[in-house]
Structure 1
Amino acid sequence: MITRLAISGYRSLRDIRVTLGPLNVVTGANGSGKSSLYRALRLLADIAQGRIIQSLATEGGLQSTLWAGPEAFSRAMKAGTQPVQGLVRKNPISLKLGFAGDDYGYAIDLGLPQDSIFPNDPVIKVESLWTGERLGRANAFAVRNGPYVRIRNDNGEWRDAYQHLAPFDSMMTHCSDPREALELLLLRERMRDWRFYDHLRTDRDSPSRRPQVGTYTPVLASEGSDLAAAVQTIRGMGAGGDLDAAIADAFPGGRVVVTHTDGYFEVEMRQHGLLRPLKAAELSDGTLRYLLLVAALLSPRPPALMILNEPETSLHPDLLPPLARLIAQASKRSQIIVVSHAQTLVAALDAQGDSSQIVLEKELGETVVRDGEPPNWTWPSR
Structure 2
Amino acid sequence: MLTSLAIANYRSILSVTIALGPLNLITGPNGSGKSNLYKALRLLAQTASGGVIHSLADEGGLHSTFWAGPEEITGAMRRGEAEIQGGPRKDVVRLKLGFASETFGYTISLGLPEPQQSAFCFDPEIKRECIFNGPYYRPASALVDRKGNVVKIRSGRQWEVVSQHVPSYDSMFDAHADPSAAAEVFHVREMIRSWRFYDHFRTDSDAPARKPQLGTRTPVLHHDGRDLAAALQTIIEIGDKEALDRAIEDAFPGCHLRIVTGNDGRFSIQFHQKGLLRPLTGAELSDGTLRFILWVAALLTPRPPALMVLNEPETSLHPDLLPALARLIGHACQHSQVWVISHANRLINALNQHPECHTIELEKVLGQTEVMGQDMLSTPTWYWPD
Measured against aligned partners, the alpha-carbon deviations of 1:225-264 in whole angstroms (never above 9, x if no partner) come to: 0000000000010411110000000000110111111100
Three-state SS of the structure 2 residue aligned to 1:138 is helix
- Does 2:11 align with 1:11? yes
User: 1:249 is matched with which residue?
Assistant: 250
Distance apart, 1:330 and its partner CA: 0.4
Three-state SS of the structure 1 residue aligned to 2:139 is coil
Q: Distance in 1 between matches of 2:239 and 2:318?
A: 29
- Does 2:139 align with 1:134? no
Q: Distance in 2 between matches of 1:172 and 1:344?
A: 41
Distance apart, 1:29 and its partner CA: 0.5
Q: Distance in 1 between matches of 2:121 and 2:47?
A: 20
Measured against aligned partners, the alpha-carbon deviations of 1:267-289 in whole angstroms (never above 9, x if no partner) come to: 11101111110001000000000
Which amino acid letter does the alignment assign opposite residue 4 of structure 2? R
Q: Distance in 2 between matches of 1:29 and 1:335?
A: 24
Aligned length, in residue pairs: 380
Distance apart, 1:50 and its partner CA: 0.6
Conservation of the 8 A alpha-carbon contact between 2:239 and 2:301: no
Structure 2 residues not aligned, in runs of 5+:
none
1:367 to 366, 369, 379: 369
Which amino acid letter does the alignment assign opposite residue 144 of structure 2? A
Conservation of the 8 A alpha-carbon contact between 1:23 and 1:335: yes
User: 2:290 is matched with which residue?
Assistant: 288
Conservation of the 8 A alpha-carbon contact between 2:126 and 2:148: yes
Conservation of the 8 A alpha-carbon contact between 2:201 and 2:291: yes
User: 1:378 is matched with which residue?
Assistant: 383
Conservation of the 8 A alpha-carbon contact between 2:361 and 2:372: yes
Q: How does 1:194-273 map to 2 (within 5 A)?
A: 194-261=195-262, 262-273=264-275
Measured against aligned partners, the alpha-carbon deviations of 1:168-206 in whole angstroms (never above 9, x if no partner) come to: 000122111211211110110111110000001111110
Distance apart, 1:118 and its partner CA: 1.6
User: 2:164 is matched with which residue?
Assistant: 163
Structure 1 residues 238 and 5 mapped into 2: Cα distance closer, same or farther (>3 Å)?
closer
User: 2:96 is matched with which residue?
Assistant: 96
Q: Distance in 2 between matches of 1:139 and 1:17?
A: 19
Measured against aligned partners, the alpha-carbon deviations of 1:135-176 in whole angstroms (never above 9, x if no partner) come to: 1121111000111110112x2321111101111000122111
Which amino acid letter does the alignment assign opposite residue 16 of structure 2? I
Three-state SS of the structure 1 residue aligned to 2:355 is coil
TM-score (norm: length of structure 1): 0.98
Measured against aligned partners, the alpha-carbon deviations of 1:357-381 in whole angstroms (never above 9, x if no partner) come to: 0000000000000124210001011
Three-state SS of the structure 2 residue aligned to 1:168 is coil
Measured against aligned partners, the alpha-carbon deviations of 1:324-359 in whole angstroms (never above 9, x if no partner) come to: 000011001000000001111011000122200000
1:340 to 333, 342, 351: 342
Structure 1 residues not aligned, in runs of 5+:
none
Which amino acid letter does the alignment assign opposite residue 19 of structure 1? A
Measured against aligned partners, the alpha-carbon deviations of 1:79-135 in whole angstroms (never above 9, x if no partner) come to: 112111112211110100000012110000000111242233210000000011111
Q: Distance in 1 between matches of 2:299 and 2:256?
A: 17
Conservation of the 8 A alpha-carbon contact between 1:135 and 1:380: yes
User: 1:322 is matched with which residue?
Assistant: 324
User: 2:71 is matched with which residue?
Assistant: 71
Q: How does 1:115-134 map to 2 (within 5 A)?
A: 115=116, 116-134=118-136
User: 1:53 is matched with which residue?
Assistant: 53
Conservation of the 8 A alpha-carbon contact between 2:199 and 2:313: yes
Q: Distance in 2 between matches of 1:91 and 1:180?
A: 35
Conservation of the 8 A alpha-carbon contact between 1:310 and 1:339: yes
Which amino acid letter does the alignment assign opposite residue 322 of structure 1? A
TM-score (norm: length of structure 2): 0.97
User: 209-218 vs 114-123, which deviates more?
Assistant: 114-123
Three-state SS of the structure 2 residue aligned to 1:106 is strand
Which amino acid letter does the alignment assign opposite residue 141 of structure 2? N
Conservation of the 8 A alpha-carbon contact between 2:269 and 2:282: yes
Conservation of the 8 A alpha-carbon contact between 1:57 and 1:120: no
User: 169-178 vs 274-283, which deviates more?
Assistant: 169-178
Conservation of the 8 A alpha-carbon contact between 2:105 and 2:131: yes
Conservation of the 8 A alpha-carbon contact between 2:238 and 2:302: yes
Identity over aligned pairs, percent: 54
Which amino acid letter does the alignment assign opposite residue 254 of structure 2? G
User: 1:28 is matched with which residue?
Assistant: 28
Measured against aligned partners, the alpha-carbon deviations of 1:296-317 in whole angstroms (never above 9, x if no partner) come to: 0000000000000000000000
User: 1:308 is matched with which residue?
Assistant: 310
Q: Distance in 1 between matches of 2:75 and 2:260?
A: 65
- Does 2:357 align with 1:352? no
User: 176-185 vs 34-43, which deviates more?
Assistant: 176-185
Q: Distance in 1 between matches of 2:158 and 2:269?
A: 57
User: 2:109 is matched with which residue?
Assistant: 109
What is the root-mean-square deviation in Å for CA atoms of aligned residues?
0.9
Three-state SS of the structure 1 residue aligned to 2:190 is helix
Which amino acid letter does the alignment assign opposite residue 211 of structure 1? P
Conservation of the 8 A alpha-carbon contact between 1:5 and 1:19: yes
